[in-house]
Amino acid sequence: MSFAWINGSFIDEESATISIRDTGLLHAAGVFTTMRAYGGSVFMLDRHLARVRESCDALFVPLQQRDEAIAAATTELLQRNGLAEARLRLTVTRGRATQDPLHGMRLEPTVLLTAAPLEPYPQEYYQKGMTVIVLDEQKLNPYDLQAGHKTLNYFSRLSALKEANRRQAGEALWFNVHNYLQCGSITNVLIVKDGRLVTPPTNEELREESIRQLTPYPKSNVLPGVTRSVVFDLAAEAGIEVVKRGVSISDLLEADEVFITNSNMGIMPVCRIERKAIGGDKPGKVTLGLMEAYAEAVAQSD
């Protein structure tokens, strides 16, 4: 039996239900984060919860549970499901909307936490690098209210990922309507050039004048990824400069190294962009060093 945590209660997944009038179901009105547990605890849980709260505030999604309650729920959920190495997902929807005669619209939000056994990426990907594709048919709109947030409106990204898999690649890279790199379908993207890390900025980072001057568009679709933030910490410790600016297709194809990040894969080297080999078609020195440092950070967090 597998358990889920819904609105403060642990329930058998087979018996779990939400309202057919939940706005997450009807309008994709909600946000989520995907987390990874190592040794029975979630890595960087505080950063995941902080980002979820920021998105909830920005998109008018009530999140009533305190961080302490959600953190305790992750620990107990892993224990109930007998999991040490796991993939968890925290979903928050605006819930059911009803009209209150006195106060107008009233929301009953849904908070849902699930945990499942981890299905790791093949070790061959980490050793030989992943192949990715570049999307031509779809572009991201940075002027959308949801830009830069991990929302339930995810079908386009999953369809792009499916197309990447059909073409024997592991990820699809997205560009915005100005034709600058933003992200993968489920990842952040970083390149290495002349020993420096270069990556597209988030909306929050674009508030800095120095970054804004290097970025030829005013808004961003880039998610402030948790693993991305850990990479910045590791780069600082290693004395590697991080540059946040617009990244063109030429920057991408001419990079010395490319890697992608998310909580489940960690740091994944990219050695082929379609038929174009990157970095001699093998993981580069900077990427490998950050991968090693990331593994150490995970080990120290247990």
pLDDT recorded at residue 211: 98
pLDDT recorded at residue 1: 80
pLDDT recorded at residue 102: 66
pLDDT recorded at residue 108: 85
Strand arrangement, sheet containing 30-38 = 9-12, 3-6, 104-117, 86-100, 30-38, 41-42
What pTM does this model have? 0.95
- Which tokens in the block code for residue 6? 């819904």
In this prediction, the residues of the chain whose per-residue pLDDT falls under 50 are none
pLDDT recorded at residue 104: 61
Burial of 103 (0-12, 13-18, 19+ CB in 10 A): exposed
Contact 45, 99 (CB under 8 A): no
Kindly list the distances between the CA atom of residue 28 and the CA atoms of 16, 59, 105, in Å, as whole numbers in the listed order.
Answer: 19, 12, 18
Amino acid at 21: R
Q: How far apart are CA 96 and CA 232, in angstroms?
A: 39
pLDDT recorded at residue 107: 77
Contact 251, 282 (CB under 8 A): no
pLDDT in tens, 208-236: 999 999 999 999 999 999 999 999 999 99
- Domains in the chain (CATH in brackets) are 3-117 (3.30.470.10), 123-301 (3.20.10.10)
